[in-house]
Amino acid sequence: MGTAGAVALTATAVAIAAPAMIPGPDGFQQNLKLNSKQGAFFDVYQPPDQYNDNCALGDLGGAIADDRGFSPGNDASGPNGGAGDTFDGGLVLWVKGKNGRSPFEDSDSTGNLKGRRIVVGAEQVRGLVVKRIERAMKNTPTLRSLIKLKNPGGQALVRTLIWDSDLGTDGSEVVLLSSDGDRKLEDDDRWIVFADDRENPGDDIGTLGLYGRGGSVTPTQVFNPLKPKDGCISFKVRVRIPANGVRYLLFFTQSNDDKPPARKRARKLNDPGGELVDGLSGNIRSKIVNWDL
């Protein structure tokens, strides 16, 4: 379990001029955090902590190397600081092409913070120009991740996108609820609620929302952390981006400090509306491939 970076939530977002560079344990970091009223606290901008295997912090192989990728959910915690870390490194994006895969990197360690939203990138990854727009909701403990995938070339590209997280459950992860109503993690689950104990969770209860009804892509594979008990979970989807075109992926992540609200909020991802989709224009919605909004 990582050290939770939790603080008491305030009624307004933290206002920090960008870029604000301060020395950190891994060199320089931009100390940006998004706080929202009755909402989520996420370490939205931390030193890169992506490693070179299938899991955000290397639990599959233990290798500490290749510190390059961007994690907006490192030690993310829930309302009012919550009970503990939801992730030991989460929501890391990989792009896989014909000749390997690469993480979304934050090469200049600079993000653009406005209110409860931070924009990171754009970055060149496996032939795509990728940008991440992370937004903390105001009235629900939800982080919305909008991934912009731009194909600058004259031919269509097909890429596998990997959404990768190291749960803060330290080998004791359980599924409290999934989108089909059971307590299993399966390839066709649109969202899952997870914890480190079924009856008395010690850490915050997390929800990963991957895709919605009617989306044009669905997961091709889910790496299930419940079998090896290593705390690592990966979702894979294949996306076709037309020549000189743009497509988007949309993900929702929630962090709760109790089971009933976690289940209630997760069910709203079946048909997200209101604040969850606030600010998404019609043009963007029409190009989101994993939800039909």
Cis preceding linkage at 19, omega within 30: yes
Averaged confidence pLDDT in the chain: 75
pLDDT in tens, 47-99: 444 433 445 443 333 333 344 567 777 667 666 555 567 877 788 898 988 88
* Helix (H) and strand (E) counts in the chain: 2, 17
Q: Is the pLDDT of residue 37 over 50?
A: yes
Percent of the chain's residues with pLDDT above 90: 30
Q: pTM of the full predicted structure?
A: 0.82
Q: What is the pLDDT of residue 52?
A: 39
Closest CA to 269 of 238, 233, 239, 293: 293
Boundaries of every domain in the chain: 21-286
Lowest mean pLDDT among 37-41, 68-72, 91-95, 264-268: 37-41
Please tell me the distance from the alpha carbon of residue 168 to that of residue 171, in angstroms, as a whole number.
9
Q: Which two tokens stand for residue 21?
A: 């560079």
pLDDT in tens, 136-158: 888 888 889 999 999 999 999 99
pLDDT in tens, 243-256: 999 999 999 998 88
Fold classification of 21-286 is Beta-galactosidase; Chain A, domain 5 (2.70.98)
